Amino acid sequence: ATNSLHRIDWPSDGKLNLSSKIVDVVPVVMCPEDGGFPGLYCSNFLQNPWLSDGRTVILSSVWGSTQVILSVDVMSGNVSRITPNDST
């Protein structure tokens, strides 16, 4: 199994409560499709992983046997591989 990434919809008043929604942004991948996204394999996070848009986080993960850089849109769950496929 892989790692998963979650988002908490924080209330605008800044006070977290029991009704705060936790969203599964990138779910666990049990059986990746051939050539598709294998899931998150993150061992650590950058100190400041957020882009200036406030919704994109940059992560380091393993894809196959290669360490890669990914961007994740935490609102849509879209995962993009930044590291080129021919990079080693």
Q: What is the pLDDT of residue 87?
A: 57
pLDDT, tens digit (0-9, with 9 covering 90-100), for 61-86 = 999 889 999 999 999 999 999 999 87
- Name which residue leads in pLDDT, 38 or 88: 38
This prediction has a pTM of: 0.84
pLDDT, tens digit (0-9, with 9 covering 90-100), for 19-54 = 778 899 999 999 998 888 999 999 888 899 999 999
For residues 78 and 29, the answer to whether their CB atoms sit within 8 Å is no
Q: What is the pLDDT of residue 55?
A: 96
Pairing of strands 56-63, 66-73: antiparallel
Domains of the chain: which residue ranges? 5-81
Pairing of strands 21-26, 56-63: unpaired
Instruction: Identify any residues that bridge with 55 across adjacent strands, giving them in sequence order.
Output: none
